[in-house]
Each structure stands twice: as C-alpha cells, then as structure tokens.
Chains A and B, each alone.
Chain A
Amino acid sequence: MSVPDNHVPGGAESHGDENSLRARAEAEWRAAYEAAPSRQAGFETMSGIPLAAVHGDPPYPGQFPYTRGIYPAMYRSRLWTMRLFAGMGTAADTNLRFKALLEAGGTGLSTAFDMPTLMGRDSDHPWAVGEVGRAGVAIDTVADMEDLFAGIDLGGVSTSMTINGPANILMAMYIVTGERGGTERRRLSGTIQNDILKEYQAQKEYIFPPRPSIRLVCDLIRFTTAEMPRWHPISISGYHIREAGSTAAQELAFTLANGFAYVEAAMAAGLDVDDFAGRLSFFFNSHIDFFEEIGKYRAARRIWAHWMRERYGARRERSLQLRFHTQTAGVSLTAQQPEVNIARVAAQALAAVLGGTQSLHTDSYDEALALPTERAARIALRTQQVIAHETGAPNVADPLGGAAFVEWMTDEMERRATEVFEHLDKLGEGSILEGVYEGIANGYFVGEIADSAYRFEREVNAGRRIIVGVNACTDGDDGDTPILYIDEEVEAQQLARLAEVRRRRDGDAVAAALGRLVSDAADPTVNLMVPIIDCVRVEATEGEITGALEGVFGTYTEPAIV
C-alpha cells in the first residue's frame, strides 16, 4: 500500500503556528486512530486504490468539537448498529421474534409498545379498544414483561425500550423481571427513551404536566446513574419533532434545547454533569434533503460539544460527544407506488451514515400503508447492508468534511439553531429548561411545527415541491402491495391475561403499595423509582400506577394551538 491508512493528506500550504497546530492535531489524531480497533486490515476502493482514513483539515474526527465525528476511525473501527424495531401482539408473540433475532446473531432487542401501554393505560381501559397489541406489544403488568423476555438472559442482551410518559413504570417492570430471573439490576444493559419534552412538542404521548414529568425523568436518571451503570436513561429524540412537520433546523434546535433542559434538570436534582452526560444519547430523523440532513448531524455534534463544555462545565470527553441513533423519515414514505420508498430510504440511510450516526433504523417501504411485513423489513435491513458493505462510504471518516457546501450547510444549521436557543434562553430568563417549559405552555413549539407542516403541504399542493408518485410521475401505481393485518384475537388474549393477574394477586398489597406511591409522589424529594418498583413487585398494573400518580400530578391538556 503506497499511502499508509493513517496518513492525513492535504494542508501543504500552511505556515508557522498554524502549521504546528496542524501537526499537533494530526499527531494526536494518529495516536488515537492507531489505538482504535479496525474491522479490517486495510481499506481500498473497489478498483484497488488505497484509502487514507481521513482527508482534509483539522479538527479531525474524534477531536473537539467533533463536527467530523466522535471517533477517530469512525466506521473503520466498527460499523453502525443496524437496529430493528420489534413488537406487536402479545408479549408471547414478541418473545418469539426476539428469540429468532438472537438466534440470528443479534445482541440488541428493540421494543415497540402498543398505544395503551405508551399512554400508561391498561388493555381493559375504554380508550384501549382496537389498539391492544396493534402498533406494538401490550404490557399491563410485570407478568407481561416476564413473558416478553422469557428464556432470554437479560445480562447478555442490550434492550432498547421506546417508552416515555410511563417510562419509570416500564423501567421498574424490566428491573423486577431481571430480579425474578436472577439478573441483578446493575447487570442490565440498554436504553429507555424517557424523553418527555418532545411529547408535549410533537408526539403527544404525554400523561402528566411537564414539571412533575421532568421530576420522573430525573428520578430515573438518578436511579440508573447510581445503580445501573450499563443503562442509558434517556434518548433525546428529534425524530418525532420532524415527523410532526418541523424543518431540519427546528428538529436540530428543539432536540438539542431539550437536551440542555434535561442537563439543567439533572444538575438541579443534584447530579454532577460528568456523572450522567456521558450516558445521554440522541435520536434524529433522516429526511430526504440529503445535504441538509448531513449538515444537521455535523452541526448537532459541534453545538453539543461547545454547550456542554462552555455552558455546563462538563470536562469528560464523553460528556462532550453527541452520540445518536437515526431512523429514516416515516413521513416521507408515500402510499402511492410504495416500492419507490426503497429508493428514498436508501438516500436517507446514506445521509445518516455520511453524517456519522452510531446506529440506524431503516423504514420498510410499506410503512405508509401498515406495519411492515417481514419481506419489507428485510429489504430495509438489506439497504443498510448495501451501504455498509458495497458502497465504500464507511471506509473514510467524514468523507464530505471540507466540501464547501457541506461546511456551509453545517454552519447554516448551527446558525439557525442558535437563534432558537437564544429565544428559549430569553423566554426562560437564562434557563433553557424554563424556556422549554414556557415554550410548551405558550404553544411556541407546536405552533412552529404546525406552521412548517402547513407550509410544506401547501408547497406540495401547489406543485412547487415534487413528490414522485404523489404530485408527479403518478402513472404506474398498481395499488397491490401486500400489507400486514394484525390478528384481532390479540386483544381478547391480552384481556384474559390481565384479568387473570388481577385475580391471582394480593389486592391488599397492591392497595398498600399504591398508597405509598401516592404519599411519596407528594414529596418532591423522594425518588419515585423505589415505590414504583414496589408497586410492580406486587403486580400493580401500569394503569393503576399511572392513575395513582395522576391523582397527585394531574393530567396534561394540550394548548389550543392548531
């Protein structure tokens, strides 16, 4: 190989101080790069041209402010994690899928819950009719959680749970499931979404008002920081903000502002920023405007690093590094000519990889119509594998870094996000957390998102924005895509399961545990994870625990902003 793969080309024209700074950055990068693992011996193009690991100017990947990526070798060390979201029907159904995934060599389990579970309600709640097990797995009690993970060693897998309003309850159920199966909580590994702020702004799966909800978020962060070192207590999500109709810059700005808000809340709850910041992770959307998305990811890392160091005084390198998961934009998928979505997903997935994501979920082409069929889900995974193994895109870290347009886009994203931070900072009189509370209360977030969504819709309507198969190139839609139907038996099975648990458990113990939870909830100094775990142990249902907390905290109603 004529070029060593740790050589940094370019920069021959530099002089003096600049030259020595550059030499230092390069030396530091090289040392870090050499210390990092490599997934193969050397990297070259398909024609046999050897490739350097990085090109262009410092700061290099792995160097503050991490615009170019958080690791020196990026995907040369390790490809991103290819995640699949699983969960539908009863816990037992999903358990079978989990086991199949693990047998196929997977180590990460990603759970989707059904709407009643996401909203803290039991399967027999009047609102749950028609929703049980439909868009994810139904969990009412710890018994369901035990079914979900039956026969799986919780110490040996990493579990991701997409749950927010009732995150503490599901976390408690997972902990008790571990306990009963002989896995101590300190050995449990995984991520819980637990990002309540974006619920008020976008996804609308809230239960309690914002302030008590933030207390619950902080209780979970405090608990896992102290007792569960392998757990990621929050995944700060822009995905849903974008799906609700925001622009890329709004997604970036609102998500990072929420991140700052959690940092402020956790610090106010008495945690040291470096004790928890390294366990925060993010979740972004990858929409269809290719370079805008790449600029967004790069700007996100840069903003986070600066704010964590300069505003919140973080010192550990890990606290400064923004790690993120990406999912392609569900909202960009069309019901018309759905196979064309495969092309959209491919472009979006490539943007995420070129933007330096740590993990990626690719949508299935049929998701605009229904939950994905297995075939469609497989094509989605294969799309990632093509990018990983055929395109060569992962062989050079931040391959677009230094391109004038990409750097400009990155700067522009940062500039627009900074305007939002300034607004929120002013709104909160020097506190982003207070600014976010106020922005939720006065409808700022929902109003901005609704404005963007409507602007987009009008552009499509007027034909100023082309969507292939929707307002152009519309011939050839045969409307014959096979879609998945959920067995309507699921609801009956789950109701029977819930009734059985209610019958067999010790009612007095449940009442006592719920009573204690109510009195603890009224005392803001108590970490509610403890009484919630106690409720779960005696098989209180998710709905009962939610109800007890609602009695103290109240229920949230959205602002009347359309």
Chain B
Amino acid sequence: MTGAAGSAAPGEQAGTQPVRVVLAKLGLDGHDRGLKVVARMLRDAGLEVIYLGLRQTTESILSAVEQEDAEVIGLSIHNGGHLTLAPRMVEAVRAAGLDVPVVVGGIVPDKDLERLRTAGVFAVLGPGASAAEVAQRVRAAAAGRP
C-alpha cells in the first residue's frame, strides 16, 4: 500500500513507500519519446517520477535530487552521447558527496557497456527492456542492489 502522511498513523510508517526517481535528459538532444514512455511505465509501477525533461545539466539534476530527495537518477540518452554524458553525471553525483545510483536508458552498443559500468553507471536499460524490467531495475537501484 501507499500511505499518505498520517493515514498510516498512529502506528509505524507504512511499509512500502513509493520510490522517488528523477528522470532527465542531459545535453541538447531532443528525443524524449523514450523518457516519456519510461516515466509512464514507472508511474504505472507505483513509483514517483520527478520529471525534469529535456536539456538538463548535471547541476540542475543534482539540485532536483537534493530537494526532492530522489533515490535514483534515470538518464535517457539517444544520440550516442552515452560515453560522455553518463560518466559526467556519475562524477557529478560523487563530487557532490551523494550516493544516488545513475541508471541509463537508451541504445548502448554492447562493447560500451563495460566502460559505462566501470565509470560507475548502475544499470543500462536497452530498447528491449520491458516495463516490468525497467521498474525492477530502478527499484533495485533504489535498494542498492545490482
């Protein structure tokens, strides 16, 4: 169940709290079809999506993560920018002293997967990922499990 503040009172906090995830695109690329589809998938899986949309910077994403207390950052990358953009986000998260996993969605050639993992990207979700898989990976990221 999901509990509004107080509705679970006067006992403990409600057991399952919705995972809060920030979804954004870094850089100039305007392809947001995938980002929007994933936003709806996650909403329909019971997550709370803080949707930042297009043309975000690492700073604006971090700012949102702090204020929204988001547990996961989801980045959608389309134009082959994964090798530059994703590691930059991970570095920015670390530099800010945060421990928030970065999940990348988009087309990433197999040979680049390892480079992204080494760079600290938590998970990469390719174009074949099902709604259940997407939600499961984001939840796992929030829970800190690979």
Contact = CB atoms under 8 A, between A and B. Distances in A.
B127 interface: yes
A41 interface: no
Given A134-B80, A134-B81, A562-B40, 10 more contacts: A130-B27, A135-B80, A335-B107, A336-B127, A336-B128, A368-B127, A453-B37, A457-B41, A458-B131, A562-B49
Contact of A454 (B37, B127, B130): B37
A450 B39 CA distance: 11
B109 A204 contact: no
A225 to B, nearest CB: 29
Interface string B41-62: 1000000010101110100000
A560 B28 CA distance: 18
A486 B79 CA distance: 12
B79 A562 contact: no
B79 A115 contact: yes
A205 B30 contact: yes
B100 to A, nearest CB: 21
A131 B85 CA distance: 10
A131 B27 contact: yes
A121 B126 CA distance: 30
A450 B107 contact: no
The 7 closest A-B pairs by CB, nearest first: A204-B30, A130-B84, A115-B28, A457-B37, A450-B36, A119-B28, A454-B40
A483 interface: yes
A479 to B, nearest CB: 5
A522 B51 CA distance: 35
Contacts of B109: 369-370, 483
Interface in B61-89: 79-81, 83-85
A45 interface: no
B123 to A, nearest CB: 17
A370 B28 contact: no
29 contacts: A115-B27, A115-B29, A115-B79, A118-B28, A126-B57, A129-B27, A130-B83, A131-B27, A131-B29, A134-B79, A203-B30, A204-B54, A205-B30, A245-B33, A335-B107, A368-B107, A369-B107, A370-B80, A453-B33, A453-B37, A454-B36, A457-B131, A458-B131, A470-B128, A486-B80, A562-B36, A562-B40, A562-B51, A562-B53
A393 interface: no
Contacts of B84: 129-130
Contacts of B107: 335, 368-369
A135 B36 contact: no
A243 B85 CA distance: 23
A509 interface: no
Nearest to A204: B30
A459 to B, nearest CB: 11
Given A483-B109, A562-B36, A335 B126 contact: yes
Contacts of B49: 562
A461 interface: yes
A127 B55 contact: yes
Contacts of A121: 28
A128 interface: yes
Contacts of B55: 127
Nearest to A484: B80
Contacts of A335: 107, 126-128
B12 interface: no
A558 interface: yes
A244 B80 contact: no
A334 interface: yes
Nearest to A367: B107
Contacts of A119: 28
B33 A562 contact: no
B28 A131 contact: yes
A454 B130 CA distance: 12
B131 A461 contact: yes
Contacts of A134: 79-81
Given A454-B37, A562-B36, A131 B54 contact: no
A293 B128 CA distance: 25
A151 B116 CA distance: 42
A193 B48 CA distance: 39
Nearest to B79: A135
Interface in B1-36: 27-33, 36
A450 B34 CA distance: 10
Interface string A240-268: 00011100000000000000000000000
A420 interface: no
Interface string A444-484: 00000010011001100100000000110000000100010
A247 to B, nearest CB: 14
A130 B26 CA distance: 11
A371 interface: yes
Interface in A253-293: none
Given A134-B80, A370-B109, A558 B127 contact: no
Contacts of A233: none
B53 to A, nearest CB: 6
A204 B25 CA distance: 12
Contacts of B31: 204
Interface string B107-138: 10110000000000000001110110000000
A457 to B, nearest CB: 5
B110 A479 contact: yes
Contacts of A483: 109
